[in-house]
Amino acid sequence: MRSDHEEVHNEYLAHVPVVLNRAVPRRVLVMDMGTGFITRELLKYSGVESVLQVSYSRRLTDLARRHPLFRYISEDAAADPRVNVE
């Protein structure tokens, strides 16, 4: 249950840098709104060992971690042991 816009936007932000660099990073810094949607895409790479997600909005980050719809769309990315949310 994703919108086309959300999916295209977050896939672009996550996958294009990997393709252009021709390598999957081991450690990733994500600076975003805190929804976990970009982190969701990065976790698709088995080579990613850790993701530090720094969010602009603590309130949105908290909502995204608790609300069932956000958790569903993000595929519960914040619960992945490789993810640290600041």
pLDDT digits (tens, 9 = 90+) for 20-55: 999 999 999 999 888 899 999 999 999 999 999 999
- Prediction pTM value: 0.86
pLDDT of residue 51: 97
Decide if pLDDT at 8 tops 90. no
Q: State the average pLDDT for the chain.
A: 90
CA angle 4, 7, 11 (to 5 degrees): 140
CA distances (Å), origin 58, targets 30, 45, 50, 55, 75 = 14, 26, 20, 7, 19
pLDDT of residue 12: 87
Closest listed residue to residue 52, CA positions, set 70, 78, 73: 78
Distance from C-alpha of 78 to C-alpha of 83, rounded to nearest angstrom: 6
Share of the chain above pLDDT 70, in %: 95
